[in-house]
């Protein structure tokens, strides 16, 4: 930097502020410190609040909040703009508690009235803290100050409620806002999408288009997430077309959302086409492709993409490795599981608890319960996901008693069981035929642990009762279920009727199932098996003919075997496999 040689060469305060803000934008700390030194030498600039605010911003952007506060303390009478810069600095550096605490001292201790920009940073900090009560208090304060109609501040409050999962409050505020911009609409769509309300998110998006507000890339990401949740491929294609017309499809976040949407809707060709056309790929989009293939049962394709990532892409993160482990678990090849475990140790991902849970699942599905137990016991801080994975592993190997013992250890460790925990535990009881234990666990869900049984829990319980011949009790459980009964529950009852040859109840379950899912070949097969065992050949032939008339075929099962480090799959009934 060229030295200042005379008074006429010295920059004025306006120039200094511009240069400092440039340093802030570039995170150029060393250059910013040099400018700060010049400001100190130019004594007339030290008292300029505009320069002081630029200094605070520069240090804040560079993560040096101690120096930012020191600049503030150097002013005998800092104004609200300078104080707001410090609050914003704390908030942007993730020090939300410090931001709120500083604001409280400024308001109560020093009596400085905030401006809307101040409150935007405070509201953002409260959102980071996840403190709903404090958020409502701040909302009430800004209403009393008369700031509720400032659009940027109202958007910040809307975003805070959305991040806190307060759908009702978010919608109430949204409906009350006299003015809405693209940020307002995007926030409401994001709130619904993040909380799993895909239909409502898409409805708000359509209203947004109707009133003439054009979405931006952030809007489109939330809309694509809603399309993914709803598996609404038609609307997803429309959003893709709009993004292409406006040029948003070239943005990384939009392309990633498109890849994820197409993968979740089982449109692999379109997803991969977008993926390979992307000029820049980050770890998130690689993980989306690997996870998409795994979710659709295409394990070999997922692992091939992982190999390409190791060769030409960014380094995988822990989330990517969980998706890779999930893909490998579909193949169940022990040697591959061991290799992936070694890679996790080498890269340091093995100490992540959620990675440990996926590794336990992989080992158990690869037939090595011993390795699964070893991984489980190695993790010192176990969460509900890891405990659930270990319970599921025991259940998968038919060790229901050990699964229950592991659950009891979990409770003794003061870990609160989740809905998933009870699904794995009930499945373990079902596979081991532990009826009494299953009843006790099912009853304890709501009465002891406050977990409301879902359709999935009831389906597993019906399966347990059906396997053991308690068909009347299973039917009574279905009758007590609130709302419509999902097909998988009736299917569990039909399977129990097939095992225990209960034709009357089986016919009743089949009739209901075929009204719900007339194209599911498995239901016809179960019913025909019931008729065949009881010697009712005419009825059996009738069911088979109905299948043929509707062009239905049972999906063939397959087995896989590893030969010369390559996994080969064999369909049931194949006479010859081409390697």
Please report the pLDDT score of residue 538 as a whole number: 65
Average pLDDT over residues 322-330: 97
DSSP string, 23-86: HHHHT-HHHHHHHHHHHHHSHHHHT-HHHHHHHHHHHHHTT-HHHHHHHHHT-SS--HHHHHHH
- Better pLDDT: 520 or 420: 420
Q: What is the pLDDT of residues 35-53, one digit of tens each?
A: 999 888 887 556 788 899 9
The pLDDT, as a whole number, for residue 535 is 66
Residue 56 has pLDDT above 70, yes or no: yes
Q: Are 91 and 61 in contact (CB under 8 A)?
A: no
- Find out whether 417 and 424 touch, Cβ atoms under 8 Å: no
DSSP annotation of 519 reads: T
Q: If you write DSSP's letter for every residue of 224-291 in order, what string do you get?
A: HHHHHHHT-HHHHHHHHHHHHHHTGGGSHHHHHHHHHHHHHTT-HHHHHHHHHH-SS--HHHHHHHHH
Q: What is the pLDDT of residue 5?
A: 45
pLDDT the model gives residue 579:
45
Q: When comparing pLDDT for 572 and 98, which is higher?
A: 98
pLDDT score for 425: 97
Assigned token pair, 301: 């394709």
pLDDT band at 525 (very low <50, low <70, confident <90, very high): low
Give CA separation, 226 vs 14, 89, 191, 233, 238, in Å. Answer: 47, 33, 10, 11, 13
Q: What is the mean pLDDT of residues 279-299?
A: 95
Q: Are 397 and 372 in contact (CB under 8 A)?
A: no
Once rounded to an integer, what is the mean pLDDT over residues 132-151? 92
Beta-strand pair 566-571/558-563: antiparallel
| Token output for 486 | 């999902």
Q: Please report the beta strands in 346-457, taking only residues with DSSP state E, as ranges in sequence order.
A: none
- What pLDDT was estimated at residue 473? 96
pLDDT at 578 over 60: no
Residue among 475, 458, 523 nearest 495 (CA): 523
Share of the chain above pLDDT 70, in %: 87
Q: pLDDT tens across 432-453, in order?
A: 999 999 999 999 999 999 999 9
Q: What is the residue-averaged pLDDT of the chain?
A: 90
Contact predicate 530/508, CB 8 Å: no
Residue 235 and residue 215 in contact, taking contact as beta carbons nearer than 8 Å? no
Phi and psi at 569, nearest 5°, equal -105, 140
pLDDT score of 530: 73
Position 550 confidence tier, pLDDT thresholds 50, 70, 90:
low
Q: What is the pLDDT of residues 170-224, one digit of tens each?
A: 999 999 999 999 999 999 999 999 999 999 999 999 999 999 999 999 999 999 9
pLDDT, position 166 = 95
- Both structure tokens of 41: 């030498």
Tokens matching residue 385: 């996901």
Amino acid 517: pLDDT: 66
Residues 6+ apart with CB under 8 A from 389: 357, 358, 360, 361, 364, 376, 424
The structural domains of the chain, with segments of one domain joined by +, span 281-381
pLDDT at 389: 97
DSSP 108: I
Rounded average pLDDT over 335-350: 95
Alpha-carbon distance of 495 to 501, in angstroms, equals 10
CA distance 66 to 39: 18
User: Is the predicted pLDDT of residue 86 greater than 80, yes or no?
Assistant: yes
- What SS3 state is found at 569? strand
Q: What is the pLDDT of residue 256?
A: 97
Model confidence band, residue 574 (pLDDT cutoffs 50, 70, 90)? low
State the Cα–Cα distance between residues 5 and 517, nearest whole angstrom: 85
CATH of domain 281-381: 1.25.40
Per-residue pLDDT, 138: 94
């Amino acid at each position: 930097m060229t030295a200042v040689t005379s008074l006429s060469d010295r920059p004025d305060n306006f120039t200094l502020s511009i240069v400092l803000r440039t340093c802030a934008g570039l995170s150029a700390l060393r250059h910013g410190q040099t400018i700060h030194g010049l400001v100190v030498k130019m004594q007339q600039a030290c008292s300029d609040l505009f320069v002081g605010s630029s200094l605070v911003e520069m240090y804040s952007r560079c993560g040096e909040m101690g120096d930012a506060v020191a600049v503030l303390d150097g002013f005998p009478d800092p104004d609200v703009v300078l104080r707001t810069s410090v609050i914003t600095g704390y908030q942007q550096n993730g020090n939300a508690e410090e931001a709120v605490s500083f604001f409280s001292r400024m308001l109560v201790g020093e009596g400085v009235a905030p401006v809307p920009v101040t409150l935007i940073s405070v509201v953002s900090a409260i959102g980071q803290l996840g403190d709903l009560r404090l958020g409502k208090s701040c909302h009430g304060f800004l209403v009393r100050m008369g700031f509720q109609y400032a659009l940027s501040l109202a958007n910040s409050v809307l975003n805070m409620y959305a991040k806190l999962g307060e759908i009702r409050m978010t919608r109430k505020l949204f409906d009350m806002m006299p003015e809405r911009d693209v940020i307002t609409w995007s926030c409401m769509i994001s709130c619904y999408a993040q909380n799993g309300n895909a239909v409502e998110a898409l409805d708000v998006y359509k209203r947004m288009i109707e009133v003439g507000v054009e979405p931006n890339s952030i809007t489109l990401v939330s809309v694509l997430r809603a399309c993914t949740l709803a598996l609404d491929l038609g609307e997803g294609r429309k959003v893709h077309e709009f993004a292409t017309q406006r040029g948003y499809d070239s943005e990384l976040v939009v392309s990633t959302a498109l890849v994820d949407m197409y993968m979740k809707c089982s449109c692999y060709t379109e997803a991969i086409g977008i993926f390979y056309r992307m000029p820049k790929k980050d770890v998130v989009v690689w993980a989306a492709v690997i996870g998409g293939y795994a979710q659709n049962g295409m394990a070999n394709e997922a692992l091939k993409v992982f190999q390409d990532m190791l060769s030409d892409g960014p380094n995988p993160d822990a989330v990517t490795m969980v998706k890779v482990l999930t893909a490998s678990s579909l193949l169940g090849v022990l040697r591959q599981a061991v290799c992936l475990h070694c890679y996790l140790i080498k890269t340091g991902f093995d100490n992540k608890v959620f990675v440990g849970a996926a590794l336990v699942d992989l080992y158990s599905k690869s037939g090595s319960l011993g390795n699964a137990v070893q991984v489980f016991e190695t993790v010192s801080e176990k969460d509900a996901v890891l405990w659930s994975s270990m319970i599921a592993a025991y259940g998968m190997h038919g060790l229901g008693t050990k699964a229950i013992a592991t659950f009891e250890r979990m409770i003794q460790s003061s870990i609160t069981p989740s809905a998933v925990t009870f699904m794995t535990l009930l499945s373990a009881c079902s596979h081991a035929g532990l009826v009494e234990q299953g009843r006790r666990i099912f009853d304890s869900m709501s009465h002891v642990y406050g977990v409301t049984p879902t359709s999935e829990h009831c389906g597993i319980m019906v399966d347990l009762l059906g396997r053991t011949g308690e068909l009347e009790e299973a039917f009574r459980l279905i009758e007590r279920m609130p709302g419509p009964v999902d097909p998988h529950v009736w299917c569990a009852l039909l399977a129990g009727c097939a095992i225990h040859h209960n034709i009357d109840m089986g016919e009743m379950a089949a009739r209901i199932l075929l009204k719900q899912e007339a194209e599911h070949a498995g239901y016809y097969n179960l019913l025909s098996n019931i008729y065949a065992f009881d010697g009712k050949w005419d009825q059996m032939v009738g069911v088979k003919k109905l299948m043929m008339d509707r062009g239905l075929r049972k999906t063939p099962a397959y087995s896989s075997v590893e030969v010369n480090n390559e996994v080969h799959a064999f369909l049931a009934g194949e006479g010859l496999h081409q390697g």
